[in-house]
Structure 1
């Protein structure tokens, strides 16, 4: 797939996670919400959340995106910047982050705002450690992120992972 082809058919899942009165909620989004950063951010803004909503999108077991919206602010983490050469969504994220296109043969490297989940309980260093684990698939990394934030079981149930 080239960066010019839409990713909607390749989206493994797109989820919104938000806290309402201190309790985590997880809702599925349609793949149509994951066509670009603005569409995804707009979809997340409709959720009531203490401190905004977090979007988790996995594409073809190749890469994932964590997006956080609070008001008009949008913060992003892309698990692998080299995905921007193959996937339209990853290219859009890289553009939002102001990153140059990285050749696909480069080593996979995360990019973005590693502090976006710090106030929710996942410090930048812990997020970087998850992102650096090249033994994990994207859904396993997102499960670890969800677990660190406190909604791991909800996440695993929605995406069909078996909790460890």
Structure 2
């Protein structure tokens, strides 16, 4: 996977209650450790979110708070094709099920529950097979209060 196969990679963080969303600058093939490292440089009262969409296929939602990274991936089957998805499963210690065709999430569904989107709502959103990863992440951004900033960052990437 190369950065050209990324739909986008964004960082979102709040300071004094105001959200900022900015594109992540990545070089070469994005990997999980590089994403986590790049997110650690941003401030944020409640940590920083990484919103990554890959080839209109799946998304990864990261939340870095202090030294800890929490992870959610929208579709475990993506790990059969995408190295980043495989790295997420490895980090979560979830075995790769090569014969599984079901689109199921992996990781922490409560990753943003304290910010305004419950695990149940996030799970229901991911279950909507009619939505693209970008649309799912847009709904997450709206629920957390930075939908406008999310849209502006997407348009800037353009």
TM-score band, normalised by shorter chain:
over 0.9
Structure 1 position 152 matched with structure 2 position 147: yes
Structure 1 position 137 matched with structure 2 position 119: no
Instruction: Report the Cα distance in structure 1 between the residues aligned to 2:141 and 2:14, rounded to whole angstroms.
Output: 12
Alignment of 1:110-125 (within 5 A): 110-125=105-120
Structure 1 position 68 matched with structure 2 position 63: yes
TM-score, normalization by structure 1: 0.90
Instruction: Report the Cα distance in structure 2 between the residues aligned to 1:91 and 1:130, rounded to whole angstroms.
Output: 22
Equivalent residue, structure 2, for 1:94: 89
Deviation at 1:153, TM superposition (A): 1.2
Distance 1:108 1:7, change over 3 A: farther
Deviation at 1:34, TM superposition (A): 7.0
Aligned length: 156
User: Any idea what SS the aligned residue of 2:27 has?
Assistant: helix
Contact 2:12/2:50 (<8 A) preserved: yes
Contact 2:13/2:43 (<8 A) preserved: yes
Instruction: Report the Cα distance in structure 2 between the residues aligned to 1:104 and 1:60, rounded to whole angstroms.
Output: 21
Distance 1:104 1:14, change over 3 A: farther
Distance 1:77 1:33, change over 3 A: farther
Distance 1:96 1:107, change over 3 A: same
Equivalent residue, structure 2, for 1:38: 33
Instruction: Report the Cα distance in structure 2 between the residues aligned to 1:126 and 1:63, rounded to whole angstroms.
Output: 18
In the alignment, structure 1 segments of 5+ residues that lack a partner are 1-5
TM-score, normalization by structure 2: 0.93
Contact 2:2/2:28 (<8 A) preserved: no
Instruction: Report the Cα distance in structure 2 between the residues aligned to 1:31 and 1:134, rounded to whole angstroms.
Output: 29
